Amino acid sequence: MSSIGTIGLLIALGLSLYSLVAFYLFNSNKGLKYLLSAKNAVYGTALFTTISVVAMLYALIAGDFSIEYVTQYTSQDLPIIYKLSALWAGNAGSLLFWAWILVLLAAVVTASKENKEFIPYASPIMMVVSVFFLFMINFVSQPFIQLSNVPLDGMGMNPMLQNPGMVIHPVTLYLGYVGFTVPFSFAMAALIMKNPGDQWIKLTRKWTLISWLFLTLGNLFGAQWAYVELGWGGYWAWDPVENASLMPWLTASAFLHSVMVQERKNMLRIWNMVLIIVTFGLTLFGTFLVRSGVVASVHAFGSSSLGAYFLIFTSLIILAALYLVADRINMLRQGNQFESYISKESSFLLNNLLLVGSAFSIFWGTVFPIVSEAVVGKKIAVGIPYFNQVNAPIGLAFTLLMGICPLIAWRKANFENIAKNFMWPWIIAIIGLLVIVFIGGITKPYALIAYTICVFVISSTLQDILKGVRVRKKLTGENLLVSLIRLLSKNRRRYGGYLIHMGIVMMIIGITGSNVFNSEAIKTFKPGETAVVGGYTISFKGLQQTTRDNMEVVYADLSVINNNNDMGNLQVEKVFYSKSEQPMTEPAIISTFKEDLYVLLTGWEENGSAIFKIHINPQIKWLWTGGWVIVVGVMFALWPGKGSGVGSRYIGRGEVSYGKRVS
Amino acid sequence: MEAVIGLAMLAGAIVIVGYPLIQKDIPNYKVKTAKNKPLAYEQQKEIVMSSIGEIEFDFNMNKLSVDDYQELKALYKEKAVQLLKENDKVSGVNETDLVRKLEEEIEADLKCFKESDADEKG
Amino acid sequence: MARGLVRKISLTGLVLVSLLLLNISPALASTQSDIENSLICPACFAEAMSVAACQDSTAQQIKEEIRQKLASGQTKEQIIKTYVDQYGEKILTNPPKKGFNLMAWIIPFLGIVMGGALIYLALGRWVKVPSAKKGRLKTKSGVLDDYYNARVEEEFKKYL
């Protein structure tokens, strides 16, 4: 098995290198046969990488402990799903996995019919990135290294990774990371082809949005995993690795918005190029952070030479891309202009400023320990409080913009239409504020500001939809229901976006509630004792012990009653894995939209009483639910057919352009 | 055994990329850029018409000022009229025919109107 | 007028942001977890994990120490200071806001303010306040203008 894997990877590397040569020959007019051959080389790369991945998966499932990687990350008693997910549990395997997604994506893009003109340029750029990853797994971090003396059993997987969240989180995250290679490649192709219009944006819109969705989900699944597995009651610790996946998300969000200005007004061409380059660079930068050990991180895979390779490759490709932009800058300069200071166009600039500013602040905080050590020679840590303090105001500001921007006019906005459009949302927001203060009894300023903003965004979005229905009714004479359905389904891009905004607002509500109002208590229960904690009546019967797959479990069944409602049983566990010395504390959670009851078994005494840590985390469910709302929003916006196209162009005087509507 | 599998895989790879090369070459085609492709009438019409729709919609939503609305509407309307005219010309609708047809319609309307008028009186 | 509006809006924004910054620290559940959150577990410097988040024995031990110190009447500041004296500033999850560390807070906002200024300047270059109605050259009016105009008015609704 291991030799098939090794040979497969070598051939894949050879093919990917060959494809670059063949694409080059085609592009210098040596004949169509080179294009066909190059495309086949791309497909071949995908095929042979797939063979290696299959070989690795086979080895993992069969427990072929002659392969070092299999020994390091699995054991015989590991459940089969985790044997599969061991593919991305370690350095070499996760690089193999990454390379695999990348070459598959390259093959799909190369085969697609709609981007024909771009393929000879975009495809080789994807292959350049593929060559790098294939080089890494062939020569730097090889997954198929064999052991000379084969052990009887492997060392097992880190218990923290034995969780459904860790099966899905890396997959979604990698799909998001890798996906941005597509818009990046098309952007570069557009520059090489001297075709600086918005074609590349339209062709890759689907890819960009789907990658963004995966990145969103990757982050959320990661947060959820931390919440249900790590047992500290939180879900986001601003660890460098988490930051590394949040930064490209922020810049990609900025990109998704600013391309609209280019599509509508043919402006911001240079900025969009820079944004996609930065986003792509950040997806690689994250990997550099994780693998290099330069910053302290929970996720550190251990320091290795990998980081240096990543740093060099990332720098080279970013420099090359920026050089290309600089070289073509005259072509990118914009012809159009803004008609006024306040307009939808300029509000997009503000949105971009905040999103990129937030990404920058996170970047700065992440590298600040290095900066500090280099400049003043002092080793310090920059942790959760810093990031919260800096990002909370920025985050609230761009939440506010989500309510304002959709209502601002294109071209020129004036006082009159601003006042008209915003009157009701503000009235509702103020009523909401009063309700929150006097009925909800909330007085913490941060929460008040955040909730008021959220109410404002929701009401301004709803108002916009209602008004849209009225206007449509007036123009077409349809009845209310028909015009609502047609309005939404014929402008899916806009209203899908609104739905995504609603998802983000739900997440903001969740983040606010769980950060501002969380509370915790530590309580020792004697067997048979019942106590009231945070409004929950909790009864403890006693500790029990059991054996499961590869673990010994000490657990307590707690019955929970809240407001005379039986909330069911909580099974709180301390798990001793066969291959690990430290026990894992598995929290048990009762989750409602009001709050989560989050209980940990921290220890026990000889007399049979047990010590529990009980967190009350308000509104966390909103965060996860918001994520699913975003999924629905993206699918609504992207669903093929009429209505997913971009709107018309509001360009300057005297010209009408026929932008191709891509649906 | 492993050597055989390895060689077979290598051979496969070579066949995949080599096959197009030994085929009779098709002359190199120039990659056309889409920006030169003229759009069909229906597509052009859809763009212009939906732009007018959007302008109308945004104006009614208070998202376009009166000035902008008038300017953009006039701009796109002109374009739309031009498109319709050109298409009529291509599909053989003669302008004088059209004028006559319109006049006939108006007359018919008038007649109708008179008759109903007469009916009411009668 | 537009410029005046921009100024007003940005001023309001500035006031809002500074209000937020003053009110910044989200109230935490208790002094205990407050302290746990502001210290890094000494066994986990490589991971920069806070005492609150860490699950290993060193963290448990420190949690217990904090509990005892609080019970004996020490304040939050005193307790944190003991640990800083023992391990150095690197034990803090949040670097003290003084000296070079201030750069950590200032630079991001400076960046945003500068970006904002850049946008403002760029807008200044891009914005062409349209001059009052340039009389559009009316194309030669034909007999059928009304007919076609009406047709456009009718047909665009199909594309709405």
Q: ∠A500-A503-A504 over CA atoms, to 5°? A: 90
Query: What average pLDDT does range A484-493 have in this prediction?
Result: 89
Contacts for A231 with CB less than 8 Å, ≥ 6 apart = A584, A585, A586, A587, A600, C55
| pLDDT band (50, 70, 90) for residue C79 | confident
Using CB atoms, pick whichever of B50, B52, B102 lies closest to residue C152: B52
Does the pLDDT of residue B116 top 70, yes or no?
Answer: no
Contact check, Cβ <8 Å, B99/C139: no
Amino acid residing at A435: V
Contact check, Cβ <8 Å, A381/C90: yes
Q: How far apart are CA A269 and CA A180, in angstroms?
A: 18
pLDDT in tens, C27-76: 334 677 778 888 888 877 767 778 877 777 788 888 888 888 888 888 88
The answer to whether residues A468 and A499 belong to one domain is: yes
The answer to whether residues A474 and A564 belong to one domain is: no
Instruction: Answer yes or no: is A350 within a domain.
Output: no
Contact check, Cβ <8 Å, C152/B56: no
Instruction: Answer yes or no: is A288 within a domain.
Output: no
User: Considering Cα of A75, then A76, then A80, then A84, what sign does the dihedral take?
Assistant: positive
Q: How many residues belong to chain B?
A: 122
Q: How far is residue A598 CA from its own chain's centroid? A: 25
Amino acid residing at C6: V
Contact check, Cβ <8 Å, B51/A649: yes
Q: Specify the long-range contacts of residues A315-323, CB closer than 8 Å, at least 24 apart.
A: A317/A128, A317/A129, A317/A281, A317/A284, A318/A277, A318/A281, A321/A184, A321/A188, A321/A277, A321/A280, A322/A274, A322/A277
The answer to whether residues A574 and A507 belong to one domain is: no
| C-alpha separations of B65 from A339, A411, B40, B73 in Å | 12, 9, 32, 12
Return the pLDDT at A96: 95
The answer to whether residues A576 and A481 belong to one domain is: no
Task: Write out the DSSP string of A69-85.
Answer: HHHHH--TTS-HHHHHH
Beta bridge partners of A539: A530, A559
In total, the C-beta contacts within 8 angstroms joining chain A to chain B are 143
Helix, strand, or coil (residue B39): coil
Return the pLDDT at A299: 63
Residue of B nearest to C131 (CA): B67
Q: How far apart are CA A141 and CA A136, in angstroms?
A: 6
Helix, strand, or coil (residue C93): coil
| C-alpha separations of A638 from A119, A179, A202, A209, A468 in Å | 23, 16, 12, 8, 21
Q: How far apart are CA C1 and CA A620, in angstroms?
A: 44
Does the pLDDT of residue A175 top 70, yes or no?
Answer: yes
Chain A contact present for C157, CB below 8 A: yes
Q: How far apart are CA A182 and CA A191, in angstroms?
A: 14
| C-alpha separations of A101 from A107, A182, A241, A277, A322 in Å | 10, 12, 20, 20, 26
Residues in B closer than 8 angstroms to C159, CB to CB, are 46, 49-50, 52-53
Arithmetic mean of pLDDT over chain C: 74
Closest CA to A411 of B59, C3, C136, C8: B59
pLDDT in tens, A562-615: 888 888 888 998 888 877 777 888 899 999 999 999 999 988 888 888 989 899
pLDDT in tens, A414-462: 777 777 788 889 899 999 999 988 888 888 888 999 999 999 999 999 9
Chain B contact present for A476, CB below 8 A: no
Q: Is the pTM of this model over 0.95?
A: no
Query: What average pLDDT does range A28-49 have in this prediction?
Result: 93
Return the percentage of chain A with pLDDT > 70, whole number.
93
Rg of chain B's alpha carbons, rounded to an integer?
31
Measured in angstroms, the CA of C82 and the nearest CA of chain A are apart by: 17
Chain C contact present for B43, CB below 8 A: no
Contact check, Cβ <8 Å, B67/A467: no
The answer to whether residues A142 and A19 belong to one domain is: yes
Residue of B nearest to A465 (CA): B61
Chain B contact present for C152, CB below 8 A: yes
Arithmetic mean of pLDDT over chain A: 88
Residue ranges making up the domain that contains A39: 1-157
HSE-up (13 A, CA, CB side) for residue A319: 6
Residues in B closer than 8 angstroms to A660, CB to CB, are 34, 39
Instruction: Answer yes or no: is A334 within a domain.
Output: no
| pLDDT band (50, 70, 90) for residue C24 | very low
Q: How far apart are CA A648 and CA B64, in angstroms?
A: 14
Return the pLDDT at A266: 79
Contact check, Cβ <8 Å, C50/A237: yes
List of chains touching C (3+ CB pairs within 8 A):
A, B
Residue of C nearest to B86 (CA): C148
Q: Tokens 């791309």 correspond to what residue?
A: A42
- The count of structural domains within chain A is 3
Chain B contact present for A660, CB below 8 A: yes
The answer to whether residues A483 and A554 belong to one domain is: no
Mutate to test the interface with C, among A380, A399, A408 (most CBs of C within 10 A): A380
Residues in B closer than 8 angstroms to C145, CB to CB, are 81
Chain C contact present for A516, CB below 8 A: yes
The answer to whether residues A606 and A629 belong to one domain is: no
Contact check, Cβ <8 Å, A411/B64: yes
Residues of chain A numbered 261-280 and touching chain C (CB < 8 Å)? 267
Task: Write out the DSSP string of A146-214.
Answer: BPSS--SS-----GGG-SHHHHHHHHHHHHHHHHTHHHHHHHHHHHHTT--SSHHHHHHHHHHHHHHHH
Does the pLDDT of residue C80 top 70, yes or no?
Answer: yes
Contact check, Cβ <8 Å, A340/C127: yes
Return the pLDDT at B106: 77
**Among the listed ranges A124-133, A226-235, A357-366, B63-72, which one has the minimum average pLDDT value?**
B63-72
Return the pLDDT at A661: 33
Give the residue from A157, A175, A201 where a domain finishes.
A157
Instruction: Answer yes or no: is A629 within a domain.
Output: yes
The answer to whether residues A18 and A93 belong to one domain is: yes
Give the residue from A122, A157, A192 where a domain finishes.
A157
Measured in angstroms, the CA of C145 and the nearest CA of chain A are apart by: 20
**Among the listed ranges A52-61, A377-386, A512-521, which one has the minimum average pLDDT value?**
A377-386
**Pairing of the two strands A610-618 and A551-562:** unpaired
Using CB atoms, pick whichever of C25, C95, C127 lies closest to residue A341: C127
Query: Higher confidence at residue A655 or residue A528?
Result: A528
Using CB atoms, pick whichever of A40, A407, A408 lies closest to residue B20: A40
Instruction: Answer yes or no: is A226 within a domain.
Output: no
**Among the listed ranges A196-205, A262-271, A638-647, which one has the minimum average pLDDT value?**
A638-647
| pLDDT band (50, 70, 90) for residue C92 | confident
Chain A contact present for B33, CB below 8 A: yes
Return the pLDDT at C51: 82
Does the pLDDT of residue A127 top 90, yes or no?
Answer: yes
Query: Higher confidence at residue B3 or residue A15?
Result: A15
ipTM surpassing 0.85 = no
Contact check, Cβ <8 Å, B98/C147: yes
Q: Which two tokens stand for residue A491?
A: 């402008």
Query: What average pLDDT does range A251-261 have in this prediction?
Result: 93
Closest CA to A647 of B65, B51, C1: B51
Instruction: Answer yes or no: is A583 within a domain.
Output: yes
Task: Write out the DSSP string of A367-408.
Answer: HHHHHHHHHT-------HHHHHHHHHHHHHHHHHHHHHGGGS
The answer to whether residues A25 and A144 belong to one domain is: yes
The answer to whether residues A585 and A625 belong to one domain is: no
Amino acid residing at A609: S
Tell me how crowded residue B37 is: count the other CB atoms within 10 A of its CB: 9
Does the pLDDT of residue A70 top 80, yes or no?
Answer: yes
**Domains in chain C, CATH or no CATH each:** 26-111 (1.10.8)
Measured in angstroms, the CA of B5 and the nearest CA of chain A are apart by: 7
The answer to whether residues A498 and A532 belong to one domain is: no
Return the pLDDT at C54: 76
- Per DSSP, A67 falls in state B
- Per DSSP, A602 falls in state E
Residue of B nearest to C156 (CA): B49
Instruction: Answer yes or no: is A322 within a domain.
Output: no
Does the pLDDT of residue A122 top 90, yes or no?
Answer: yes
Contact check, Cβ <8 Å, C95/A386: yes
Does the pLDDT of residue A540 top 80, yes or no?
Answer: yes
The answer to whether residues A454 and A553 belong to one domain is: no
Return the pLDDT at A663: 28
Instruction: Answer yes or no: is A367 within a domain.
Output: no
Strand arrangement of the beta sheet that strand A530-533 belongs to: A530-533, A536-548, A551-562, A565-577, A584-586
Q: How far apart are CA B10 and CA B26, in angstroms?
A: 27
With b meaning 16 or more CB within 10 Å and e meaning fewer, what string describes A277-289? bbbbbbbbbbbbb
